[in-house]
Structure 1
Amino acid sequence: MEKFKKEIPFLAIALIPFVYLIYIWNRLPEKVPMHWNGAGEIDRYGDKKELVVTLFMLVGITYFVFLIIPSIDPKQKLQNMGNKLNNLRMILTLLMSGLAVFILYSVQQKTSNPSFVLAIIGLLFAFLGNYFKTIKPNYFIGIKTPWTL
């Protein structure tokens, strides 16, 4: 029960895009924009059911990978990281949920701002680059994994 209580904030953040999709579902047409080019112009339409898959791939996989990784760590070195793993989980879950909500908003408005997405990705790389310096060697996260050393 205690472990589930720790998961509630992560689940709440991960479910935000799905709740937003349910909220706008009936207002979406059957064919929705699925891809924009670098200029922000729509270059592919798809069925609105593809949005569910897109959300799961962005938010769901991020959430489940970080949920599973500590249990398959062969030497349990992730446990020695303290709160760093949870901080990284929170930041990436927030980022992916925010990106998913932005995608849904763009689909609904049929407009996109690629500079916003590029700025968010740039901030992610800057954050990860600074954060990975503080992570101790382990099997899954960072640059100092056994396979790279």
Structure 2
Amino acid sequence: MYKENKRPKLNLKTTPLEFILNAISLCLIILSVVYLIVEWPSLPNQVPMHFNGVGEADGWGSKWTVWVLIFIGSLLWVGMLILSRFPHVFNYLTEITDENAEFQYKNAKLMMTLVNTIIIVNFTYLSYQIVQVAKGLSNGLGTWNMLIFILVLLGTIFTFMFRSLRVK
């Protein structure tokens, strides 16, 4: 048995799936930046910065605030990427032992990478939609955006939690 600070520290390699998911996330961040640079001259001075429960814009701000979303998304991505390299410090639903450490760490690391990608996909969509609404090309985010995001995110987390509990 290990206490949190006595858990085995394993040198886990990045799996091909984790590499692909991280590459997708990075490409989406870059795509968001390029898209915003291209659309910048045609953006009005006021852009939507808040949307109500049905996806309609109900708060507006300076067009410069669009960069905040990309900055926060990038910061989150980097932070979660770094954190995923230290799975021995995560909280687990089961006790970490020599026998289950490798599986539990790999499971948690993949979950973090997938959650990171889901968040970046959503941030990319939000950045795109903010520009579309600001330019009058869209009415809002749509009714289902936030619900789908939350369900996919929670579904992913619960799936990995279930996997973690299955293996003792």
TM-score tier after normalising by the smaller chain length: 0.5 to 0.7
Contact 1:28/1:108, CA 8 A, preserved across alignment: yes
CA distance in 1, matches of 2:79, 2:156: 21
Q: 1:21 to 1:86 in 2, by over 3 A?
A: farther
Answer yes or no: is 1:109 the counterpart of 2:138.
no
Deviations 1:104-145 (A, max 9, x none): 222122122131221121121112111112237xxxxxxxxx
- In the TM superposition, residue 41 of structure 1 has moved relative to its aligned partner by 2.2
Gaps spanning 5+ residues in structure 1: where? 137-149
Aligned match for 1:91, one of 114, 126, 139: 114
- TM-score normalised by structure 1 residue count: 0.68
Aligned match for 1:70, one of 85, 109, 118: 85
Q: 1:19 to 1:93 in 2, by over 3 A?
A: farther
Gaps spanning 5+ residues in structure 2: where? 1-12, 91-95, 134-139
Aligned residues with identical type, % of pairs: 20
Deviations 1:61-86 (A, max 9, x none): 143133135349559x7x73454344
Answer yes or no: is 1:27 the counterpart of 2:42.
yes
Q: Which amino acid aligns with 2:53?
A: G
How many residue pairs match? The answer is: 131
- TM-score normalised by structure 2 residue count: 0.61
CA distance in 1, matches of 2:89, 2:156: 27
Answer yes or no: is 1:133 the counterpart of 2:156.
no
- In the TM superposition, residue 49 of structure 1 has moved relative to its aligned partner by 1.7
